[in-house]
Amino acid sequence: MKTLSSLATLVVLNLIVSHQASAQNPVVGPVIEKGDRIAIVGDSITEQKLYSKFIETYLLACTPQWDVQVFQFGWGGERAPGFAARQDNDLAFWNPDLITTCFGMNDGSYRAYTEAIGQNYEIGMRTIIERFKKDGAKFVIGGPGVVDSETFGKETPDADKIYNANLKQLDGIAHKLAEEYGYPHADVFDTMMDVMLKAKAAKGETYPVAGGDGVHPGANGHLAMAFAFLKVLGLKGDIAEITLDMGEQKAEASEGHRVIATTADSVTIESSRYPFCFYGNEEDPNGTLGITRFLPFNEELNRFRFTVRNFTGQKAEVQWGASKKVFTSEQLTKGINLAAEFTEGPFNAPFNATMNAVAQKQAFETPMIKNAITSFRLYETFLPGDPDVASAAAMLTQKLVTKDDELHQAAQATVTPVTHTLTVRAVE
């Protein structure tokens, strides 16, 4: 069995690649802009449609004010040069404003790092960046994630350490390119490594963070990936700020929320911005809840805060929907994060409805690209220069885009205002 100490040694010994940011292209303010079309590009880990689903659901439900549209472009087995070779056909038609990339897992060829591996990865990534930079697109350049210290290459001694050292080198190249071009770098590798070390220390080494095969994470690892990308989009994480003054019997709410009614011990709110809701149990790697202990998702991206003023008791039971929890007066005065304190609440069902609609949309997008759009370029080789081929491809592409737009609109339509009540009762 591999040991946690060996994995910790890997983290210490991995080469730390740091670069000076480009003075000509500094990253200033949020990367995301209202109305952006966001392309999530990557390999089979992206095609799992988990971190992409979490990102899209967060943007639609938690920050609907950005009014963005997302498309998932994952392709199993892909490397950066492979995507670069088909990007004109398979991505350009969608006219993205912002592109997130997550290549490297296959680029490393599942062996020790060599200069040739790094050069091929860098050439592919540069080709992608240069192609869409000229169209005015922005990038979030993600490096690869990690392989699991327990489940990857179990029959080969030190397989995980060798390949994680390779992936760390590729992540360094991604970081270098991000700084050179003035784009943010999504630190997927270090985020996942940190979470993996902490989770395995607490739950045991057999708890997988990078999946049962050591490469393709479950929902737990994908939440860490989504966190890495969402953080560098410039999102502040302030979803709601609700204040109840029990002495004055009045309440206030931040933008995206409206006070409907207030009593001496309760406030009823209508909210158009949702907290991100988790699923599964503490030990389930195919759920998202258990990994939140080791990832600051709630603290940094999911603050749905409730503050109580002029509460005269020592402790109070807060009821939110059907769920109840006891807090001290000091906690309530300071403010509590409802998203972190309540795993079940009024938003779980509507949030899941949005996430299910996003999943349905992304399930359409994979075959749209892999079975349809990518094949159109082949007809030109059979019938070069035939105007009917180009016309037919353009017509079919537009029909597919229209269908995907309809699925996007259906997902957006699930984000409807939620009316919920917070009640505060003194307890002994």
Can you tell me the mean pLDDT for 316-324? 98
Determine the 3-state secondary structure of 67 from DSSP. Answer: coil
| Mean pLDDT value across the chain | 93
User: Which tokens belong to 202?
Assistant: 């607490």
Residue 57: left if φ>0, alpha if ψ -120 to 50, beta else—which one?
alpha
Tell me how far apart the alpha carbons of residues 166 and 153 are, in angstroms, rounded to a whole number.
14
Sign of CA dihedral 229, 230, 234, 236: negative
Helix (H) or strand (E) holding 105: none
Q: Is residue 146 within 8 Å of 197, Cβ to Cβ?
A: no
Tell me how far apart the alpha carbons of residues 209 and 291 are, in angstroms, rounded to a whole number.
9
- Residues 139-183 have pLDDT tens digits of 999 999 999 999 999 989 999 999 999 999 999 999 999 999 999
Beta strand 323-328 pairing with 315-320: antiparallel
CATH 3.40.50.1110 fits 16-232, yes or no: yes
Tell me how far apart the alpha carbons of residues 371 and 373 are, in angstroms, rounded to a whole number.
7
Report CA-CA distances (Å) from 261 to 178, 270, 275, 305.
49, 10, 21, 18
Q: Is residue 139 within 8 Å of 80, Cβ to Cβ?
A: no
Residues 6+ apart with CB under 8 A from 28: none
pTM: 0.93
Single out the residue of 425, 423, 426, 417 nearest to residue 267, CA to CA.
423
Q: Is residue 221 within 8 Å of 297, Cβ to Cβ?
A: no
Please list the alpha-helical segments (H only) found in 182-296.
Answer: 188-203, 219-232
pLDDT at 29: 53
Q: What is the crossing angle of helices 374-382 and 80-90, to 10°?
A: 80
Can you tell me the mean pLDDT for 323-334? 98
Residues 6+ apart with CB under 8 A from 202: 293, 294
Single out the residue of 314, 305, 275 nearest to residue 292, CA to CA.
275
- Residues 239-297 have pLDDT tens digits of 999 999 999 999 999 999 999 999 999 999 999 999 999 999 999 999 999 999 999 99
Can you tell me the mean pLDDT for 290-305? 98
DSSP letter at 297 equals H
Residues 6+ apart with CB under 8 A from 313: 329, 426, 427
Residue type, 160: D
Q: What are the extents of the domains in the chain?
A: 16-232, 238-348+416-427
pLDDT at 17: 32
Report the percentage of the chain scoring pLDDT > 70: 93
pLDDT at 18: 33
pLDDT at 428: 86
Report CA-CA distances (Å) from 248 to 102, 243, 343.
52, 12, 30
Q: How many helices (H) and strands (E) does the chain have?
A: 14, 14
- Residues 25-59 have pLDDT tens digits of 334 457 999 999 999 999 999 999 999 999 999 99
Radius of gyration of the chain (CA): 23
Can you tell me the mean pLDDT for 345-362? 99
- Residues 364-417 have pLDDT tens digits of 999 999 999 999 998 988 999 899 999 999 999 999 999 999 999 999 999 999
